[in-house]
Amino acid sequence: MAEQHRPVAHPVDSRRSFLTEALAIVTGGLATLTPVAAGVWAFLDPLRRTKAAASYLPVTELAAIPDDGLPRQFPVIADRVDAWTGFAAEPIGAVYLRRAKGSDTVEALSATCPHAGCFVEMESTGKCFRCPCHNSEFTLDGGIVAPSPSPRPMDALECRVAENGGVEVRWQKFRAGVADKVEQ
């Protein structure tokens, strides 16, 4: 009687099959993770750009700031990136600039109230600043007038005058509601 042979799976074939499946899993995982990592990077990138936006921005000309010691308000205009959307040349804030009689040195104050971020206005008398939101009062050099809810004076900004007379302000935003001037 003829002997019947059953097919026998060889161990080598099992290992090959296992390696093939493992390789497929690793390749599939990489293919999935790569777009996820790219998405996370794209999400973080606008945040990094926002932080890097603290740079000197042209605001006006020296001749546009009378040397009478009175602050004048100027918009700060720049390209803005909000998450994934870019906005070209639009107002991103405002500053008060002033200079003393005969001086070419310009002092700059942010118009953003340190209490909660409202817009500080010059009083009609021209003798002080006042915030309309919670009535904080500031002197013309930004000092706080008690009693005011603002925890600190108005935020001074670095300012420079270029050789061509252009006035540039280092635009920064600071955390509201805290006594220390902490950059956002």
Point out which residues bind ligand FES (CB under 6 A).
Answer: 113, 115-116, 118, 131, 133-134, 136, 149-150
CA distance 43 to 36: 11
Rank residues 98 and 115 by Cβ distance to ligand FES and give the closer one. Answer: 115
Please report how close the Cβ of residue 97 comes to ligand FES at its closest, in angstroms.
Answer: 20
Instruction: Check: CB of residue 129 under 8 Å from CB of residue 122.
Output: yes
CA distance 150 to 114: 6
Residue type, 64: A
Q: What share of the chain is helix, strand, coil (3-state, %, to 5)?
A: 25, 30, 45
Rank residues 99 and 115 by Cβ distance to ligand FES and give the closer one. Answer: 115
Please report how close the Cβ of residue 115 comes to ligand FES at its closest, in angstroms.
Answer: 3
Please report how close the Cβ of residue 74 comes to ligand FES at its closest, in angstroms.
Answer: 20
Rank residues 110 and 136 by Cβ distance to ligand FES and give the closer one. Answer: 136
CA distance 142 to 111: 10
Please report how close the Cβ of residue 57 comes to ligand FES at its closest, in angstroms.
Answer: 23
Minimal CA–CA distance to 165: which of 57, 58, 62?
62
Please report how close the Cβ of residue 55 comes to ligand FES at its closest, in angstroms.
Answer: 26
Q: For 120-140, give one letter per residue: b (16+ CB within 10 A) or e.
A: bebeeeeeebbbeeeebbbeb
Rank residues 60 and 150 by Cβ distance to ligand FES and give the closer one. Answer: 150
Rank residues 67 and 137 by Cβ distance to ligand FES and give the closer one. Answer: 137
